[in-house]
Amino acid sequence: MTGAGGALSRALIPAFHRAGARLFLSDPRPERMAERAEAVGAKTFVADLTRLEEAEALARFVEGQAPLYGVVHTVGGFAAGRFLDSDPGLYDWMLDLNLRTTFNLLKAVLPYMEKRKEGFFAAFAAGPAWTGVGPGRALYTVAKTSLASLLRSLQGEVEGVRFLVVYPMGTLDTEANRKAMPQADFSRWIAPELVAEMVVEAASAKGGRLLELPIYPPL
């Protein structure tokens, strides 16, 4: 589980623990994941996944202790704003966090999965990548659409590996989002626990295939 100190991982970690998974958690900052790791008896590894060598070190760490069968990759970044006001630095940041981390992690873990012809890799896109519409979020849409396209393109390339692209089709109900938008109607937001439940279900499927899962907010 990458991004183990993040908002989505807060729901994903206990969900996978209840399902019986042996968990290895990764985040660039150890303090963000220490408490969560202790609660489920997970091992931790500090890694900056924008660097291929650190992604490869993470994969070796996990594989050295247990067969690396699955990855849930939650690392990503978001920024909104008018495209003409953006700059190359923002472009680099968005692509690094959303696409480069996914590329590096896939390069690091797929050789182990290919060897045993079994595995699961889940990553998170976004609603604009599903609908193709993202006014005010052009760079975010590009980054998440590229992530989804990468996983789609791998379908059937690595025998036995299942790829999952999750598309939250609205705002996730997290503490950070509530602080950022205190006047919003939280009842219309997507519960991270629902997302976690769906990802666990997808991870339990059999056979190598691509799954794409849009998750909508309540009506």
Nearest to 120 by CA among 74, 166, 63, 160: 160
The pTM is what? 0.94
* pLDDT tens sequence across 9-31: 999 999 999 999 999 999 999 99
| Position 208 confidence tier, pLDDT thresholds 50, 70, 90 | low
* Contact predicate 114/161, CB 8 Å: yes
pLDDT number for residue 173: 92
Percent of the chain with pLDDT over 70: 99
* pLDDT tens sequence across 69-119: 999 999 998 787 888 888 899 899 999 999 999 999 999 999 999 999 999
**Domains of the chain (ranges, CATH numbers):** 7-215 (3.40.50.720)
* Contact predicate 4/29, CB 8 Å: no
- 19: which residues sit within 8 A by CB, 6+ positions away? 200, 203, 204
Q: Which two tokens stand for residue 178?
A: 């509530």
Phi, then psi, of 137 in degrees rounded to 5: -140, 40
pLDDT at 135 over 70: yes
The helices-and-strands tally (H runs, E runs) of the chain is 9, 6
pLDDT number for residue 122: 97
